[in-house]
Structure 1
C-alpha cells in the first residue's frame, strides 16, 4: 500500500494570510491523522511564508501519538534546515534544491555535481532519519542518486501531472516507471510528488511500485470542492490498492 502523506503547507499559508491561528494547523493535522492519513509532509522555507519552524516542532509532537504515521520534513539543506532536522529527527528528510526565493519546487537535483550535496548528506547521516533526494524522472538520475548514500528518492511528477494528451501522459508515465525501476534496482525506496491529484494518481500507482505519495496543493483545492472526509476517503481508497 502506498503511504499517503499530506503536505499541509497550503493550510499554513491560509492561516498566515490573516495573521491569526485560524485554522489551527495542529488541530488540522490531528484531524486528518484520525481520518487515516499515513503521513504528514511539511516544507519550511527561509521566509516561513507558510510552514514556520515552530510548526514543525508542534507537528512532530503530534505524530508521536500516531505510531503508524510518519513525518516527512523537506526543504533546501541550509544551516537553519539542518539544525531543524537535528532537533526534530523526523521519520524522513527530503532534500529539495529550492532557492530562497522560489515559489514552489520545480526541479530535481543536478546530481552530476556532488560538491554541494555530499558534505551536507554526511552531516545529516548523523540523524536517525530516512534520507531522500528529490530527483527528475530520469533513469540516469536514479542511478546517480545511489552514489550519494541516500535511502530513497522522490520523483518529481509535475510534467506527468500537467499532461493532457494521452501520448504525452503515456510518455511521462514511462519515464517515471523507468526511473522507479532503476532506483529500486539500486536498493532505494521510491516516493513521488508534485501536482498529483484525484484524477491522475491512480494511473501512476497502477504502473509502478511507489512507497509514498506527497499531495498538498491539489488536496487543499479538492477539499474545498468536495469536502475533507470525501477527499481523504478517495485518496486512501486509491492508495490502498497499490
Structure 2
C-alpha cells in the first residue's frame, strides 16, 4: 500500500473536498472480479489531495457494500490528516456501521444523516423540523458519544437551521440539486441567494456548513464563492464521471482548482 503523502497544503480557510466513491462500487458490482477497486480509487483521490472520502451504504447494497465500509475505515487510519464521512438514514443500516466501527477503534470523523427511503433512487430532500426532531435527537447524541461528528442533510431553508442545531448537530449539509438544476438559467441568482441565506442562518446558529449533490466543475467555483462559511463539499457522481475520462488524480486536482478559484480571503473554514 502506498504511504500517505505529507499533510494537505491547502490554505486553512479553503473548502475541503470529500470524494464520494459510491459510483466506483456501482461499476465493480456489475461483475465478480473486484474491479475497479473502491479502496484503490479512494487512495488515488487522497494522494491527489482530496481531504476526505465519503460513502453512502444503502440497505440494498446497490453500490457500497458492508465490507467496503470497513476496508475504507482501515485505509483512512493510514491518512490521519484526512476525514471519513459515512452517509445514510440512521433508521436503516447506518447506525450499525457507526457502532461497529467505533467498537473496533475506527470511528469515522463524520456521519451525515440523510432522510432517504430504502428504495429511493437518490437523496432528494432534507430533514424537516419539528417533525423529525424527536427521532433524530437520541441518534445524534449516540454518535457524538462515540466521538463522531454529526451533519444533517438539509434543504436550504434558513428557518430550519436553528432547529438542526437544537437536536445536537454539529453541521448541516445543504442539498444542492436545486442550485445545480438552476445553473445557467435565469433562476441561478435566486437559487444562490437561497443558499447564501441558509448558510448564514446555519452559521448564526453555531453550525458549520457542508454541501453536496450534483456539484460539478461548471458550478462549483461560483457556489464556493457565494456561500459563506462553506467548510466541505461532498462530490461523487460528477467527479467519478470526470475521472473516467481524466483519471482520478487529474480530476481531483481540477475540483480542487475550482474550489481555489471560488475561495475568498475572508471565507471561514
TM bin, normalised by shorter chain, reads over 0.9
SS at match of 2:123: coil
- TM-score, scaled relative to structure 2: 0.86
The CA deviation string for residues 9-60 of structure 1, in whole angstroms up to 9 with x for no partner, is 0000000011320011111111111111100000000011101111111001
CA shift, 1:164, in A, is 4.0
Query: Which structure 2 residues correspond to residues 197-236 of structure 1 after superposition, within 5 A?
Result: 197-208=216-227, 209-236=229-256
Consecutive aligned runs of 4 or more in structure 1 exceeding 4 Å deviation: none
Which residue number corresponds to residue 99 of structure 1?
117
CA shift, 1:95, in A, is 0.2
Which residue number corresponds to residue 55 of structure 1?
68
CA shift, 1:206, in A, is 0.4
Question: Structure 2: any 5+ residue segments left out of the alignment?
Answer: 1-13, 102-106, 264-269
Q: For 1:151, which of 164, 170, 179 is the aligned residue?
A: 170
Q: Residues of 2 paired with 1:164 and 1:81: CA distance?
A: 32
Q: Do residues 70 (structure 1) and 83 (structure 2) align?
A: yes
Which residue number corresponds to residue 135 of structure 1?
154
Q: Residues of 2 paired with 1:66 and 1:124: CA distance?
A: 22
CA shift, 1:5, in A, is 0.3
Q: Residues of 1 paired with 2:21 and 2:210: CA distance?
A: 17
Q: Residues of 2 paired with 1:213 and 1:73: CA distance?
A: 14
CA shift, 1:79, in A, is 5.5
Q: Do residues 109 (structure 1) and 122 (structure 2) align?
A: no
CA shift, 1:72, in A, is 0.3
Q: Do residues 28 (structure 1) and 41 (structure 2) align?
A: yes
Q: Is this contact kept in 1: 2:47–2:249, CA < 8 A?
A: no
Q: Is this contact kept in 1: 2:48–2:252, CA < 8 A?
A: yes
Q: Is this contact kept in 1: 2:175–2:212, CA < 8 A?
A: yes
Q: Residues of 2 paired with 1:230 and 1:121: CA distance?
A: 37
The CA deviation string for residues 100-144 of structure 1, in whole angstroms up to 9 with x for no partner, is 110110000112212321232233232101111000011111122
SS at match of 2:93: helix
SS at match of 1:119: helix
- How many equivalent residue pairs? 242
Q: Which moved more, 1:221-230 or 1:141-150?
A: 221-230
Which residue number corresponds to residue 45 of structure 1?
58
- Alignment root-mean-square deviation, CA: 1.4
CA shift, 1:165, in A, is 4.5
Q: Residues of 2 paired with 1:120 and 1:39: CA distance?
A: 23
Which residue number corresponds to residue 138 of structure 2?
119
Question: Structure 1: any 5+ residue segments left out of the alignment?
Answer: none
Query: Which structure 2 residues correspond to residues 171-210 of structure 1 after superposition, within 5 A?
Result: 171-208=190-227, 209-210=229-230
Q: Do residues 87 (structure 1) and 100 (structure 2) align?
A: yes
